[in-house]
Amino acid sequence: MQNGNILQIPFRRTHNLQLSGAIQSYISAKYDQHPDTFARDLEVIDQLRKDAVNALDPHASGVRKLQQYAAQLVWMGGKFPVDIGADFTWMSSLGYNQGHAHTENNIRFELVNILFNLAAMYSQLALASNRATGDGLKSAASNFCFAAGVISHLKNTVIPELRSTPPEDMDDLTLESLEYLMLAQAQECFWQKAVKDGLKDSSIAKLAAKVSDLYNDAADWALKSPSVPSEWIHHLNAKSHHFAAAAQYRASLDCLEKRKYGEEVARLRDSLACVNQALREPKLNKAVLGDLNGLKVRVSQDLKRAEKDNDTIYLLPEPPKSELKVLDRASMVTAKVPKEVSHSQEMLGDRGELGKPLFAKLVPYSVHVAASIYADRKDRLVNNTIIAALEDMTQRMQDLLSKHNLPGSLQALEKPLGLPPSLASHAEEIRQANGVQRIQATIADTEKLKTNTRALYQEGLDLLRTEAGEDEAARRKYGTERWSRPAAKDAQPRLYAQVNDIEGYLKQADDSDRMVQEKFQQNEPLIRLLAGTDRDLEDYVPSSRRVTMTARVEREANALRATLNEVSRLESQRRKKIEFVRTKAREDDVNNDLLREAARLEREYPMQPVSASQFETLFDTRLRRYEPDEADLKGEELVQRMVLDRVKAANAAFQTVKRTSDAGTSEREKALQRLENAYTTYKQCIRDLDTGRKFWNDLAVIVTRFRDECRNFVYTRRREAQGLEADVATSMAGLRIQRETERDLSGRREAQQQAQAQQKIQQQQNVPPPARMGGQEPMPAPMPQRVQAQPPAVTTVQSPAGAQTTWQQGMPIVFGGVGGGGQAQSQAGKTNGNGNGTWDATKGVKFVPR
């Protein structure tokens, strides 16, 4: 990673993977086209990946291989979903977990790693350039700028669309540091070329100051990053100080040329301080140390010369550092994104520089999404708005007939013996459809769907509850101050909102299913009877005696029969209309229009990926074809109201004349009406069960997506918790070590103080009381006075008893009296000018060395 005084980005490595297998399986499962149609494209994509992941040597051919594969990955992002079914595994190349494998089923994750390796390739090409020549320095600077551009594109464009957590060594902090590092090294190449070309010192100083700034920015981001190693951080700090020193040195040369001798000295002094600060950084390699020591020698020599000249000749004042003018900056670099990365899709084509786009004949994935959206909207419009309204009108019509015992009361009168033709046709319909078994099978299928859906929902719910428990346990263990991350409900409120939504869907569906099943159970005996033989029906329906109808009764019966026939015709027309609308919806194929619209969008907006939202205008245009059917609903409602009004009037007249000639048909009438109601209930159960099964199928898709989101969320939270727990554990371990150290130091301090106090007491006990001088009372010792001059070194003082003891701070000063008999006493007497050994206050206190 480090060669001389320049850093390079290391390559990330991966395992071999046959991407074609996952693509082939996905085409087979999700598309109408056969995978063999794209056999050549499948071979090419595998070869492109093989070439790209094995391009690990700094060579221009490796750049092209990485660019071609990256361009195809971007292109495929519009054809396939990101989770196509291929598990891409890549190993980290930075930080303290080098070689750590990270696996994701994500095409964009593959693109992120390929672009990272492209940036690494540019950095290593720059390092491999011959920087001893001007052309080599230009090439190196250009490659460093390309590396910074690829990193910037990766950080700002690709990773935000990753849809998952980026690898640990590709977080924003690390990428920011790498981008500034590449720019700093590119600027350093321009500085080196300026020195080689002999530009003015002021210009070189501006270039060097900008190099220092860029290295400093790189170091600041690196300190915040968990993945940049400490050796790199020390290197960046040293380089920042190095070029700050170089800038001041060149500025001093410019001052010398302009005869600003005082400022020259100040800038040389600041340059030397910067060099010394850089040399204090640990873990620097020999090349960096050699550059720093060489600069230090040169700066030191010039500073010595400048100080001497200014002190002896020029005598100009040296300004303080705070008054020195801040050096101007000259930036020569910027992050340049290669056009093969930023405009890669424009360079794909039959004669494109990056090759022919693969899977071009495959319908884009966004078109499939748009087709699904249109189909969903069309189904809602057709089923929920048009067909549901028609069926609701039919149901209200059936309810009205049932309420007035129609057509049972009329059939009992018209055909007192045997089965009415309409009842016989209803029974035959149920027999042909195997009605009872069909209903029971549909209920069983719905129960299976319900059980599976609830299991998926419960799995997702259990994952969220387990994660919430783990998070709460960690919060109780470490405290809210250390465990500062938000709770799951606050971190992902949308996911938790789905819990209540899905729970509501499940409860509503359960209620609907229970109502349908109860309705079927209540009418099951009669439905079974209708599904049985005609003999069973004839036994159930009692016969009545034949009645001779009067002209008036016959007239009202015929009128009622005519209105009931209108009802039957209306029902028949409505069934045909429902079938017509359903057929119209089935034949409504939007794919061709979507393909034409997608082609137009790709031509007009080549850099913008086609998304489903761009087809909204097309959706609105095509859905207008159902507006006539929706407008007919009002007419249907009006016609039904008029027909039912005639039915009610005809039935009222019929019931009036029937009471005048009642012939005991009430039992037969009730039996026929119960069978008619059972048939109506059968039809309604079939319709409701089909609707319920479709609802559970749709809900299963929603719940499956919810379960997968819960899995991903819990996985991310657990990884985040592991990292946070490691940080907290490290912090607590450091705090524990600090407390133990403080406790140990405090104990040592107390023990030392006790030992000193005990030693002081022992020394005081060993000193005898001062002798009386000439039988007189000893005069009090003078107060020590601090003299202005430097006091002589403290020496040992002999005690009056003759025992030699070294004086220490805290011991009393003992003055020998008359008769002490010591050398120090006689010497003191001589020194103080008083021969009898009495201390003279005017002479001061003096200690005589032994």
Read off the pLDDT of each residue in 290-296 and give the average, rounded to a whole number.
94
Please indicate, yes or no, whether residues 561 and 626 belong to a single structural domain of this protein. Answer: yes
In-domain check, residue 558 = yes
Residues 304 and 244 in one domain: yes
Identify the pLDDT of residue 115: 96
d(CA 717, CA 466): 11
pTM (whole model) above 0.85: no
Q: CA torsion 500→502→507→508, rounded to 10°?
A: 110
- Chosen domain end from 602, 633, 659: 659
Angle of helix 107-128 relative to helix 134-153, nearest 10 degrees, comes to: 160
Please count the helices (runs of H) and the strands (runs of E) in the chain: 25, 7
435: in domain:
no
Percent of the chain at pLDDT above 70?
85
Region 703-713 average pLDDT = 87
List, for residues 229-266, the tens digit of each pLDDT value. 999 999 999 999 999 999 999 999 999 999 999 999 99
Q: Are 577 and 640 in contact (CB under 8 A)?
A: no
Q: Are residues 210 and 304 in the same domain?
A: yes
Domain that includes residue 633, residue range? 370-403+550-659
CB atoms within 10 A of CB 197: 11
Domain match, 327 and 202 both: yes
pLDDT of residue 845: 62
Task: Give the range among 15-19, 66-70, 295-299 with minimum mean pLDDT.
Answer: 15-19
Residues 291 and 242 sit within 8 Å (Cβ to Cβ): yes
Residues 323 and 397 in one domain: no
CA gap 167, 154 in Å, rounded = 13
Residue 625 has pLDDT above 60, yes or no: yes
The pLDDT assigned to 85 comes to 86
80 pLDDT band (50/70/90 cuts)?
confident
Secondary structure (DSSP) of 421-474: HHHHHHHHHHHHTTHHHHHHHHHHHHHHHHHHHHHHHHHHHHHHHHHHHHHHHH
Return d(Cα 145, Cα 162) in angstroms, integer: 24
Q: Could you tell me the sign of the dihedral formed by the alpha carbons of 750, 752, 753, 757, in that order?
A: positive
Q: Can you give the pLDDT at residue 119?
A: 96
Tell which residue, 413, 429, 412, has the closest CA to residue 674: 412
Does residue 393 lie within any of the structural domains?
Answer: yes
683 within 8 A of 572, measured Cβ to Cβ: no
Q: What was the pLDDT predicted at 475?
A: 85
What's the CATH code of the domain at 616?
Answer: 1.20.120
* Mean predicted confidence (pLDDT) in 84-94: 90
Cis status, amide bond into 407, omega within 30 of 0: yes
Which one has a higher pLDDT value, 104 or 551? 104
| Res 96 pLDDT > 90 | no
Q: In this structure, are residues 98 and 227 in contact, taking their beta carbons and an 8 Å threshold?
A: no
Domain end point (choices 283, 316, 331): 331
Q: Is residue 382 part of a domain?
A: yes
Among the listed residues 669, 656, 647, the one whose alpha carbon sits nearest the alpha carbon of residue 399: 647
Separation in Å, CA 809 to CA 728, 763, 766, 780, 824: 48, 11, 15, 20, 20
**Across the strands, what pairs with 103?**
89
Q: Is residue 457 part of a domain?
A: no
Asked if 291 and 392 sit in the same domain, the reply is no
Residue pair 162/112 in contact by the 8 Å Cβ criterion: yes
- Distance, CA of 718 to CA of 724 (rounded, Å): 10
Main-chain dihedrals φ then ψ at residue 651, nearest 5 degrees = -70, -40
pLDDT grade, residue 490 (50/70/90)? Answer: confident
797 inside domain? no
Query: Are residue 377 and residue 313 in the same domain, yes or no?
Result: no
pLDDT for residue 662 is more than 80 = no
User: Who wins on pLDDT, 302 or 500?
Assistant: 302
Rounded Cα gap, residues 564 and 420, in angstroms: 14
Final residue in a domain of this structure, among 331, 361, 391: 331
Higher-confidence residue of 419 and 24: namely 24
Query: Taking 50 as the threshold, does the pLDDT of residue 821 lie above it?
Result: no
User: How high is the pLDDT of residue 803?
Assistant: 45
pLDDT classification of 689: cutoffs 50, 70, 90: confident
Examine the domain organization and report whether 244 and 312 are in the same domain.
Answer: yes
User: 654 and 554, same structural domain?
Assistant: yes
Does residue 226 form part of some domain?
A: yes
Q: 767-794, pLDDT tens digit by residue?
A: 555 544 444 455 555 555 544 444 444 4
Report the half-sphere exposure of 635 (CA within 13 A, side-chain side).
8
Q: What is the pLDDT of residue 255?
A: 94
- Region 555-575 average pLDDT: 86
Query: How many CB atoms lie under 10 A from the CB of residue 726?
Result: 10
Residue 710, pLDDT above cutoff 70:
yes
Are residues 394 and 308 both part of a single domain? no
Q: Which helix (H) or strand (E) holds 642?
A: helix 627-660
**Interval 61-80 mean pLDDT:** 90
Least confident of 76-85, 189-198, 466-475: 76-85
661: confidence class by pLDDT, cuts 50, 70, 90: low
Pair (394, 269) in one structural domain: no
Does residue 265 fall inside a structural domain? yes
Q: How many domains does the chain have?
A: 2
For residue 11 the two structure tokens come to 């390559």
Q: Does residue 304 register a pLDDT over 50? A: yes
Domain at 316, CATH number: 1.25.40.280
Contact by Cβ (8 Å): 412, 658: no
